[in-house]
Structure formats: C-alpha cells, structure tokens
Amino acid sequence: MSRPMSSYCLALIALPALLLAANLAAHAQQNRQWVGTWAAAPMLAPMGSNRGHFDATFREIVHISNGGSQIRIRFTNEFGIDGLTIGSAHVALSAGGSDLQAGTDHKITFFGADGVRIPPGAQMYSDPINFSVAAQSDVAVSFYLPPQISHSETYHAFADQDNFVAVGDQTAAASLTGATTVQSWFYIDGVDVPVVAGSESVVAFGDSITDGAHSTPNKNLRWPDILADRLKAVPAQNQIAVLNEGIGGNRILNDQAGPSALARYERDILSQNGVRYLIILESINDIGRLAHVTTPDDDVTAEQLEGGLKQIADAAHQHGIEVFGATLTPYGGAGYYSAKGEQVREAVNDWILHSGTFDAAFDFAKATSDPNSPNQFNPAYDSGDHLHPNDAGYKAMGDSIPLNLFK
C-alpha cells in the first residue's frame, strides 16, 4: 500500500500554482487602464414593457463612486434578440430631474462615430470622453434609439432612481420635453474612469437588500452607498469604488428575477473592471420559497445554498479577488417566512461565519436584528415588510463593515 502524501508535500505541489495565480493577478492589476465607478446588473425586461419601435431619448442618472479626468460608458444588449442601434448619445452632470448642468454636456462616440449597432447578447463601450467628473457625482447619460424592431429589452428593474424617456432625439437638450419618469436603468450597465494610484473596486453582489429596495429613491442610501461614502472619507481608501450588482428577487440556485447568482457571477463579478473585493449577500429568496414549495427546485437545503456560495467565492479567489461573506438579515414576519426557512437561514449564517470559505465575514444579521427576537428586524431598521431594511437599517449594515479589510 502506498503511503499517503503528507500535507507538507501537498503544500509544495500547490505552491507554484498559487504563486502563478498571484503573479497573474498582480500583472493584471499593473496593466489595467480603467476601473469601474458605477454598475448595475442587467436583466430581461418583462414582455409588454418595451416601448414599441422607439424613436425615443433615454436620460438615465447614475451616481458614480470614483471621479476621473475621463469617463466611458458601457452599453448593453445582453438580453436582446435583435440588434440595438444607438443613434446618438451624450453625457453630462445632472442638475436634478431631467435637467443638465450648464456647460457640462459632452458627445459620446463609438469608434469615432456618433452611433453604433450592438449585436444581440453583446456589450459595447463608448470611446473615452474627456469629461472631468468628481467622485460621487450624479452623471446623466442620454442616448437616442431611432425607430427599429425590438422584441426584447435589457434593463435593471429597480433603480430607486428617477430616469426619463422622451420622444425624439433630445440627447443634447438641457432639459427633456414631455418626458416620462421611469425607475429603471435601460441599456447601460457600467461606467468606468481611468485608473490612478489606489484604484480598485468592490462588487456588492446580492438580491433586493443589496439593490436597495425600500430605501428612499434618488438619495443613494443603499448599504453599498453607505460603504462608498465611508471609503471616500478615508484618504488612503478614497480610490476604492463600490459597484452594486444586486437584483431584486434574485436567487442563488434558480432563476427568478434575473439569472440566478450561479448563472451571472462571471458577468457581474469577474468581468467588472478593477474588481479587487467581493461582498456576497445572497439566498434569502431561495429560503423564502420553503414557505410554499411548488416545484422540487424550491425545496433547497442549507448545504445546497452553501455549495452555491462556495462556488462563487472559489471562482473569485481564482481571479485574485478577496471575498467577504455577509450573513442573511432576519425575515421573521415576512410574507414568505417559515420555521423551516428560519432553520436554513441560521445554518447558512453559521456557515458563513465559521466555514473559512471567506476571507472575512460581515454579520449583517447581528447588525440589524432585534436583540430580543433575533429572527426579526430591530423595529428601528424595519421598512415595514419585515424583509427589507429602511434607510436606517441600510446605514447600520454599511456602518458595520470594517474598513481595515480594504487595504
């Protein structure tokens, strides 16, 4: 019988691979030119939501993390089954509503042209725009979609931000005429600025609690926004951007609202520019299905959820990304609460804190729960549906994250 290989020998075998991964990650960091400063996770818009054959200007407001001397916009036709034509596009600083700050409007080009066609399932970056923007600015991205066939739309459902749609090409207008207000982001999913010393990004990956459901619209009070505010206040960390990749209703193991976490992590985490850190807060929607199991896929176990979370964490680690797990906030009293689901939540939270899968863990459950009833929100942090925090709850979550982990 052969002798079992010692842990020392195993370590020697693994060491070259670990060193290679570290060297590749360091090389990638040194050769980056752009870092993400804003992002949203794209989804397929439900049937009936599209705006016919367009002839419309979309003006969408994004709150960026890092500033820079240039900016570029990532447009997406991820879920389109037809090509998407952008006729013209502009970027400026928002003056509130659909208004632009005077003197800040800049034309967006694509390979030097005013417009571009984005193939089905593709993304397209704009050319770099010489547009100096400050950190935490509200940037207005305006783009005109000429008449064209569109059987499906790519969007991010819940922006908690007023955006605007108006008839005709009004991309350069200081204020839109006859605009309709929508609280979704259509056809854009990223904004980048040039890399400077210390530029990195944090991806906040999760469901509606990361997306900011029930936070005050237009105020940027989601817990990732709170984290971004805190990082900007520390000189040594003020070039760390926070990218919100939450999707309301998202699940780890099954599609529901948007692709499952397992189906989207390569796009929404690994492909983000400059990502160095990942925070995962996912699976409460998987757990909620245990209250009313309608298909075998709904009957999930703690072990299955842990396996899904571990797969995402392992993939991020392979790309040199530090991964932080966040415990699931309480949901006692929510419409899909169940005793079985609560057992699974507690088991998953214990695993997040103690399994060693993550580089560190943030105890959001402890930060937001009622000390006298840990399966429920602290009443001061409850939005009223017993599932989502209010603004104070999101602030408690963002404030509970130790900044010293972001080196």
**Residue 225 neighbours by CB under 8 Å, 6+ apart:** 63, 212, 242, 244, 394, 398
Distance CA 220, CA 359 (A): 28
Tell me: pLDDT of 140 over 60: yes
Task: Quote the number of domains for the chain.
Answer: 2
Count CB atoms within 10 A of the CB of residue 2: 4
Q: Are residues 184 and 305 in the same domain?
A: no
Residue 364 domain-assigned (yes or no): yes
Residue 173 domain-assigned (yes or no): yes
Residue 12 domain-assigned (yes or no): no
* pLDDT the model gives residue 150: 87
Residue where a domain stops, chosen among 190, 218, 248? 190
Which of 162, 140, 135 shows the shortest CA–CA distance to 94?
Answer: 140
pLDDT, tens digit (0-9, with 9 covering 90-100), for 361-376: 999 999 999 999 999 9
**Phi (first) and psi of residue 302, to 5 degrees:** -60, -40
Q: Are residues 270 and 170 in the same domain?
A: no
pLDDT, tens digit (0-9, with 9 covering 90-100), for 28-45: 444 579 999 999 999 999
Residue 6 domain-assigned (yes or no): no
Is the separation of the CB atoms in 276 and 359 below 8 Å?
A: no
Q: Are residues 257 and 285 in the same domain?
A: yes
* pLDDT the model gives residue 7: 35
- Give the mean model confidence (pLDDT) for residues 362-391: 98
Q: Are residues 286 and 268 in the same domain?
A: yes
* pLDDT the model gives residue 53: 72
**Residue 218 neighbours by CB under 8 Å, 6+ apart:** 160, 161, 162
pLDDT, tens digit (0-9, with 9 covering 90-100), for 63-89: 999 999 999 999 999 999 999 999 999
- Give the mean model confidence (pLDDT) for residues 275-292: 97
| Residue numbers of the domain that contains 264 | 197-405
Q: Are residues 256 and 389 in the same domain?
A: yes
Residue 79 domain-assigned (yes or no): yes
Q: Are residues 234 and 310 in the same domain?
A: yes
* pLDDT the model gives residue 78: 97
- What whole-number percentage of the chain has pLDDT above 70? 91
* pLDDT the model gives residue 48: 55
Residue 27 domain-assigned (yes or no): no
* pLDDT the model gives residue 10: 33
Residue where a domain stops, chosen among 190, 225, 255? 190
- Give the mean model confidence (pLDDT) for residues 152-168: 96
Residue where a domain stops, chosen among 157, 190, 223? 190
- What whole-number percentage of the chain has pLDDT above 90? 87
Q: Are residues 175 and 255 in the same domain?
A: no
Is the separation of the CB atoms in 274 and 35 below 8 Å?
A: yes
* pLDDT the model gives residue 32: 75
**Residue 287 neighbours by CB under 8 Å, 6+ apart:** 300, 305, 328, 331, 341, 344, 345, 348
Mean pLDDT score of the chain, rounded to an integer? 92
Q: Are residues 95 and 71 in the same domain?
A: yes
Greater pLDDT, 210 or 15: 210
Compute CA 111 distance to the chain's CA centroid, rounded to the nearest angstrom.
27
3-7, 231-235, 394-398: range with lowest mean pLDDT: 3-7
**The CATH number of the domain where 345 resides is what?**
3.40.50.1110
Q: What is the 3-state secondary structure (H, E, C) of the chain?
A: CCCCCCHHHHHHHHHHHHHHHHHHHHHHHHCCCEEEEEECCCEECCCCCCCCCCCEEEEEEEECCCCECCEEEEEECCCCCCCEEECEEEEEEECCCCCECCCCCEEECECCECCEEECCCCEEECCCECCCECCCCEEEEEEEECCCCCCCCEEECCCCCCEEEEECCCCCCCCCCCCEEECCEECEEEEEEECCCCCEEEEEEECHHHHCCCCCCCCCCCHHHHHHHHHHCCHHHCCEEEEEEECCCCCCCCCECECCHHHHHHHHHHCCCCEEEEEEECCHHHHHHHHCCCCHHHCCCHHHHHHHHHHHHHHHHHCCCEEEEECCCCCCCCCCCCHHHHHHHHHHHHHHHHCCCCCEEECHHHHHEECCEEEEECHHHECCCCCCECHHHHHHHHHCCCHHHCC
Q: Are residues 119 and 234 in the same domain?
A: no
Q: Are residues 243 and 164 in the same domain?
A: no
pLDDT, tens digit (0-9, with 9 covering 90-100), for 121-137: 999 999 999 999 999 99
* pLDDT the model gives residue 50: 54
6-15, 285-294, 367-376: range with lowest mean pLDDT: 6-15
Tell me: pLDDT of 327 over 50: yes
Residue 229 domain-assigned (yes or no): yes
pLDDT, tens digit (0-9, with 9 covering 90-100), for 248-269: 999 999 988 889 999 999 999 9
Pairing type for strands 154-156 and 43-44 reads: antiparallel
Q: Are residues 383 and 244 in the same domain?
A: yes
Q: Are residues 250 and 143 in the same domain?
A: no
